[in-house]
């Protein structure tokens, strides 16, 4: 075993490659930054105040033309005390996918609605309101969509509890 | 009429030396009811996929037990197979469907979720813990989901219950609900071993024997 296979040498300090699409979004100058966490597609993050201008530009820019809001969901990061809003965009013209993330504080979860940009955002935001309690500013019809209208609380929040859930049984056993 | 008196001995009695059979109306009615159970086309969750594709399609084929005429209207259905997790939002609708069905109506609860809430029994904000919290159940079929033969076993159990059950004089008297699990001594290994032996049996061909069976009577070969 004298000639064991040696792994190819990797240069120690190569800067991580930035996706061309991410660069293209950042040079718009609307507050977009590279996404700080790991993602499975090109991703940017933006402050909540800059969200609506950036999204409008992403849709209207001819070089980007993101005409579909594929999915909108929320991550409850209890330890960091924020809600992370996640928007998946898709461009049918350029066949490109982009993740846009934005964080808002848990105590006051207010963000502007994206209904004027994409009509489908109306229902996706109703779902996020229903389960996470995100308050969308200027939303035309912010009602519950899955749960009953008289439901108390927002069940997908990490700190949600009610009597129906039998959480005390688990706590007694552990 | 397609009745075999030998198989239906408790119900039908053949008169010796004649082409008559003796029975009671109750038993004939129950026989007819048990052999034409029309299920409602309704599923609450993933067990419904198993119910439709595994038991309704060919190979297993629910039609062998007269229960293939799935009705999309509860007014025409006899049997409600509750298949899958019931959530709080669906529970009143399910109850409505049950109440719309005409008497006599039968209910089979398939799968862990409809029996007890299954994996969602703790820390779920929305799952109803068992179908019997909403509607009375006749037969419980365990499994997640139950295998097709498990559901058939449940249907056969229900048929047996119907045949022993209510009469014209005592309408609405039912048997107590039962848990219809496959016999406990049957394991997956048994089933696999049986399938393997069947495959071997089909794969090993005795050429001599096969040729002899194909041969014409003497004198016509060659």
Q: How far apart are CA A163 and CA A158, in angstroms?
A: 16
A96 three-state secondary structure: strand
Residue B206 DSSP code: -
Whether A68 contacts A90, CB under 8 Å: yes
Q: Does the global pTM surpass 0.80? A: no
Contacts of B145 (CB under 8 A, 6+ apart): B46, B47, B50, B51, B83, B110, B111
Of the candidates B89, B122, B123, the beta carbon closest to that of A148 is on B89
Residue B4: pLDDT band (50, 70, 90) is low
Residue A50: pLDDT band (50, 70, 90) is very high
B131 three-state secondary structure: helix
B chain contacts of residue A170, beta-carbon cutoff 8 Å: 122-123
Whether B86 contacts B94, CB under 8 Å: yes
**Which residue in chain A is spatially nearest to B92 when comparing CA positions?**
A148
Residue B114: pLDDT band (50, 70, 90) is very high
Of the candidates A146, A147, A166, the beta carbon closest to that of B123 is on A166
Token readout for A150 is 């008289």
Complex ipTM value: 0.71
A chain contacts of residue B122, beta-carbon cutoff 8 Å: 165-167, 169-170
Asked if A166 and B89 come within 8 Å (Cβ–Cβ), the reply is no
The 10s digit of each residue's pLDDT in A53-111 is 999 999 999 888 999 999 999 999 999 999 999 999 999 999 999 999 999 999 999 99
Q: Which residues pair with B139 in a beta bridge?
A: B108, B178
Between B85 and A8, name the one with better pLDDT.
B85
Say what the pLDDT of residue A84 is: 94
């Amino acid at each position: 075993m004298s000639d064991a296979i040696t792994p190819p040498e990797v240069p120690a300090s190569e800067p991580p490659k930035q996706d061309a699409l991410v660069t293209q979004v950042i040079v718009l100058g609307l507050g977009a930054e590279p996404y700080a966490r790991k993602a499975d597609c090109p991703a940017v993050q933006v402050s909540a105040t800059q969200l609506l201008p950036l999204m409008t530009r992403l849709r209207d820019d001819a070089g980007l033309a993101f005409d579909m809001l594929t999915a909108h969901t929320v991550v409850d990061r209890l330890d960091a005390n924020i809600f992370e809003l996640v928007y998946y965009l898709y461009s049918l013209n350029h066949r490109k996918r982009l993740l846009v993330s934005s964080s808002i504080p848990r105590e006051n979860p207010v963000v502007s609605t994206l209904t004027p940009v994409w009509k489908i955002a109306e229902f996706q935001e109703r779902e996020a309101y229903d389960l996470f309690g995100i308050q969308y500013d200027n939303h035309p019809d912010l009602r519950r969509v899955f749960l009953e209208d008289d439901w108390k609380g927002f069940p997908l929040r990490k700190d949600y509890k009610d009597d129906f859930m039998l959480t005390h049984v688990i706590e007694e056993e552990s | 009429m397609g009745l075999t008196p030998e198989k239906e001995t408790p119900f039908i009695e053949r008169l010796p030396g004649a082409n008559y059979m003796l029975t009671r109306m109750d038993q004939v009615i129950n026989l007819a009811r048990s052999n034409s159970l029309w299920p409602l086309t309704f599923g609450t969750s993933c067990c419904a996929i198993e119910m439709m594709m595994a038991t309704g399609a060919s190979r297993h084929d629910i039609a062998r037990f007269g229960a293939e005429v799935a009705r999309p209207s509860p007014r025409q259905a006899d049997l409600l197979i509750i298949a899958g997790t019931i959530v709080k939002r669906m529970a009143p609708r399910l109850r409505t469907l049950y109440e719309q069905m005409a008497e006599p109506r039968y209910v089979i609860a398939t799968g862990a979720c409809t029996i007890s809430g299954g994996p969602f029994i703790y820390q779920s904000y929305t799952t109803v813990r068992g179908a019997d919290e909403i509607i009375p159940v006749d037969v419980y079929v365990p499994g997640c989901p139950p295998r097709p033969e498990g559901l058939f076993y449940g249907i056969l159990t229900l048929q047996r219950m119907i045949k022993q059950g209510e009469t014209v004089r005592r309408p609405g008297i039912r048997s107590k609900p039962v848990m219809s699990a496959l016999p406990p001594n049957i394991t997956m290994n048994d089933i696999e071993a049986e399938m393997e032996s069947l495959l071997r049996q089909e794969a090993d061909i005795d050429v001599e024997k096969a040729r002899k069976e194909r041969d014409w009577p003497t004198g016509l070969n060659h």
